[in-house]
Structure 1
Amino acid sequence: MRPQFLHRSLGLLQRVPNRSFVPTGLGRRSLSSSPRVPDFAFAFDIDGVLLRSSKPIPGAADSLRYLKEQNIPFILLTNGGGKHETERVAELSEKLEVPLDPSVIIQSHSPFAELAGALENKRVLIVGGDGDRCRQVAERYGFKNVITPGDIFMANPGIWPVSKVFRSYYEQFARPIQNPNQIDAQDPSRGLKIDAVFVYNDPRDWGLDAQVIMDVLLSSEGVLGTISEKNGQPNLPNKGYQQDGQPPLYFSNPDLWWAAAYPLPRLGQGGFREALEGVWAATTGGPSKGVELKKNIAGKPYQATYEFAEHQLMRNRSQAFGGAITQPLRNVYMIGDNPASDICGANTFRSIHGSEWHSILVRTGVYRGGEPAWVPSTIADDVQKAVEWGLKSSKW
């Protein structure tokens, strides 16, 4: 199913004076002298491209200012998350000293907002992120009944006794579960039922989160404390696993690595998923025994995420020029630091609108040199050089 747009207002990008960035070999072009609508746009990753450990990468702010001054559309397409889009864009605006509108950012879990209607009154388990910030994001998306592994642990610490060292952490945000006995109820009609599991951001307590997710996936109809009698039945599809009304499992970010303050890349949400799949395989027999972990993965490099981003980009472009655009969007330059997500996604994306996406790999993040797993259209030292390449390619 093709993702739809998030229901949020789309403001025009604010125009600010360009302070210093002028592409090499190109003169400054004012809006008054250039009435034509650009037939190209940019998409930026954030971590490792615009920021490194929350600090602006040289040239990033000036590049965005230039695009805003020229009214060239762009979008920030990140596999990061854990905060609402309005909060994230406010932080970026402050760090980069460039006013940005929430309509220009798409995080890994942004498409989950489209599922809120169907799951509005269902109980969803939200995993990952600091404290219960991801719960707050989900509630702002429209989910009404949201619980976290921390809630479950505080109601019944026996579900993962190793997490007792995190008790003071969970006490800060856990919400009470009305009947804690529901967590270990053997009767499905009396237990705590989970209708969907979402990993919104990198988990902090991998052990607890993996245990709770495993309990739900092995349960009968998503009821904690139960175990499905269909598990391991050789005559059933997937040997009976996830064939008994268990809830769907969603991951928002497939990245194995991400660029942090440490000089080497750090494990991301993709690392947690790989660990969970390892436990699943050890428990069920895994692919070698004909059992897979059924899951849904959003984020880059997946087609649906790029479709979601392109629709948002085109909508922003239309609004920025008063909706009277006859010229199609021909080229989009995706600037990223991760070959496995940014470059792979741009290279494999097929636009239903006929736009061509070009990948530009920068050296300021995950990519450390050498032959990348996915070969980009070009490699640039940093985001400013990448923007210059895109502008020259489009003869701007």
Structure 2
Amino acid sequence: MPTLKSRRMSNAGAGLAADGMPSFAFAFDIDGVLLRSSQPIPGAPEALEYLHDNNIPFILLTNGGGKHESARVAELSKKLGVPLTEENFVQSHTPFKQLVEGSDTVDALEDKTILVTGGDGDKCRRVAEQYGFKNVVTPGDILMAYPSIWPFNQIFSDYYQNNTRPLPKPVDFRNPDKSLKIDAVFVFNDPRDWALDSQIILDLLLSKDGVLGTYSDKNGDSSLPNNGWLQDGQPMLFFSNPDLFWATDHHLPRLGQGGFQASLQGVWDATTKGAALSKTIIGKPHAATYKYAENVLQKHRADLLGGVDRMKRDVTKLDRVFMVGDNPESDIRGANEYESTDGTEWTSVLVKTGVFREGTEPAYKPDVIVKDVFDAVKWALKQEGWKRHID
């Protein structure tokens, strides 16, 4: 990867293109960068306000989620005092929208039955439905219909009772053709009930054709690839982010969705004696999420800069994106490793207000370490030769 110095030399004075438009943009993480425990970090509102007032494009790129984008941007606009829209906001599960109509590797899931787990109550179910998925089931739905699926069901029964719906089909492993079949499993957000979610996901990974309550007779067959595990039409497994830790109001980082993934992987390994677990993980630092985010940013930038004078015009190439984050293993690693097919260069900026602990060596080295997001914006503007003062 080229050093920041060499990149700056190749784009000297690139802060403004020939037509006066900014040739750079920003991508900000949220938790630990703009907010901490839902409260603005000092300097964050002022930094975003400056960018907004000067028509410098930016997006929020977070591994958080659990709510629909429209609800999240409404909350953030109020907290940060800057108008935000879905057009410049990408959260962990936003790219799942693409799978409603399918992709190069996944058939359309719009009319399939999917299991969605994570988040508060059934909020993630409702997000999935707003994306366009028509048949969404949660672990709570299954538990309330079949309490015996988890022997400790009474612990969370009151919680689930208020957030569940009848299943579209019964769970009847004796009649698989008439039983509930799950075509894909989505971990949309951090699971609240790791035990139940792990049990049901494991059941589906061991099933025949994703029919809950069945057990594939191919499991453990050494004559088959992967010793027969995941060789019998089991559902695809998707995770929305890999973060092991995230910043909360506690003085030490707390386990995130990555912790649940590690736990489920451990159970899978113990069950199958180390068979490969096929799964798709998006979110930072994965390239698919950075590619999706860059596409969103390019479109937002074109809409913003092309319409500044109320006349649509061609927007010059985006030379650089400054990724401002607090997590070396997601924000920084992702920006460092991502290679844009459009030639846009990503610069990593690490702040000290979140997961990263000052005095430690970051696992992935950023281009620069600064105090907070306000200093991050000041530093980036200086690199780009931006003349308008920010204070």
Instruction: Indicate whether the TM-score tops 0.5.
Output: yes
From 237, 243, 251, give the equivalent of 1:249.
237
Distance 1:187 1:284 in 2: 26
- Which residue of 99, 103, 111 maps to 1:115? 99
Residue type matched to 1:75 in 2? I
Structure 1 SS opposite 2:300 = helix
Cα deviation, residue 37, structure 1: 0.5
Q: Cα distance, 1:99 vs. partner?
A: 1.5
Residues 1:383 and 1:305: Cα distance change in structure 2 (over 3 Å)? same
1:316 is aligned, of 286, 300, 310, to 300
Structure 2 residue corresponding to 1:390, chosen from 358, 380, 386: 380
1:161 is the counterpart of 2:151? yes
- Aligned residue among 47, 51, 56 for 1:72: 56
Is the 2:208–2:232 contact (alpha carbons within 8 Å) kept by the matching residues of 1?
Answer: yes
> Residue 140 of structure 1 aligns with which residue?
130
Q: Partner residue of 1:344? A: 333
AA aligned to 2:76 is L
Q: Which residue of 1 aligns with 2:266?
A: 278
SS in 2 for 1:38: coil
2:168 and 2:73 map into 1 onto residues whose CA distance is 36
Aligned partner of 2:47 in structure 1 is 63
Task: Return the offset for 1:141.
Answer: 0.2
Mapped to 1, the partners of 2:233 and 2:30 lie a distance apart of: 38
1:205-244 matches, within 5 Å, as: 205-244=193-232
For the residues of structure 2 that align with 1:391 and 1:183, how far apart are their CA atoms?
A: 58
Aligned match for 1:152, one of 142, 147, 156: 142
Note the C-alpha offset of 1:186. 3.1
- Counterpart CA distance in 2 for 1:125 and 1:207 is 16
CA distance in 2, matches of 1:137, 1:381: 35
Q: Which residue of 2 aligns with 1:17?
A: none
Q: Matched residues in 2 for 1:321 and 1:53: separation?
A: 33
Gap change, CA 1:129 and 1:326, over 3 Å in 2: closer
Please list the CA deviations of residues 280-308 of structure 1 after superposition, one character each: whole Å capped at 9, or x if unmatched: 0000011xxxx111000010000010000
Change beyond 3 A, Cα 1:231–1:106: same
Gaps of 5+ in 2: 1-15, 102-107, 307-311, 387-391
Partner letter of residue 243 of structure 1? Q
What are structure 1's unaligned runs of at least 5 residues?
Answer: 1-30
| Aligned twin of 2:191 | 203
- Partners of 1:75 and 1:177 lie apart in 2 by 38
SS at match of 2:178: coil
Using the TM superposition, give the Cα deviation of residue 187 of structure 1 relative to its aligned residue in structure 2, in angstroms: 3.3
Residue 368 (structure 1) aligned with residue 357 (structure 2): yes
3-state SS of paired residue (2:349) = strand
Counterpart of 2:5 in structure 1 is none
The residue number in structure 2 matching 1:127 is 117
1:331 aligned residue (311, 320, 324): 320
Alignment of 1:350-361 (within 5 A): 350-361=339-350
Distance 2:315 2:201 in 1: 49
Cα distance in 2 for residues equivalent to 1:164 and 1:49: 39
Of the structure 1 ranges 357-366 and 189-198, higher mean CA displacement relative to structure 2 is found in: 189-198
Contact 1:187 1:226 in 2 (8 A): no
**How many angstroms apart in 2 are the aligned matches of 1:76 and 1:178?**
36
What is the distance in 2 between the residues matched to 1:262 and 1:381?
20
* Cα distance in 2 between the residues matched to 1:146 and 1:102: 23
* C-alpha contact (below 8 Å) 2:305/2:315 kept by paired residues: no
Q: Is the 8 A contact 2:100 2:131 kept in 1?
A: yes
What is the identity, as a one-letter code, of the residue corresponding to 1:374? Y
Q: Which runs of 4+ in 1 moved over 4 A?
A: none
* 1:161 positional shift: 2.0
Q: RMSD of aligned C-alpha atoms?
A: 1.3
May I ask how many residue pairs the two structures share in their alignment? 358
Of the candidates 56, 70, 81, which is equivalent to residue 97 of structure 1?
A: 81
Please report the TM-score for the alignment, with normalisation by the length of structure 2: 0.90
Cα separation, 2, equivalents of 1:211 and 1:183: 15
| Aligned-partner SS, 2:156 | helix
Aligned to 2:246: 258
- 1:316-347 CA distances to partner (integer Å, 9 max, x unpaired)? 11111225235211111000000000000000
- Rounded to whole Å, the distance in 1 between the matches of 2:80 and 2:193 is 31
Q: Match of 1:206, as an amino acid?
A: W
Which one of 297, 301, 310 corresponds to residue 281 of structure 2? 297
Distance 2:154 2:334 in 1: 40
Which amino acid in the other structure matches residue 271 of structure 2? Answer: T
Which residue number corresponds to residue 26 of structure 2?
42
- 2:12 maps to none
Q: Percent identity?
A: 59
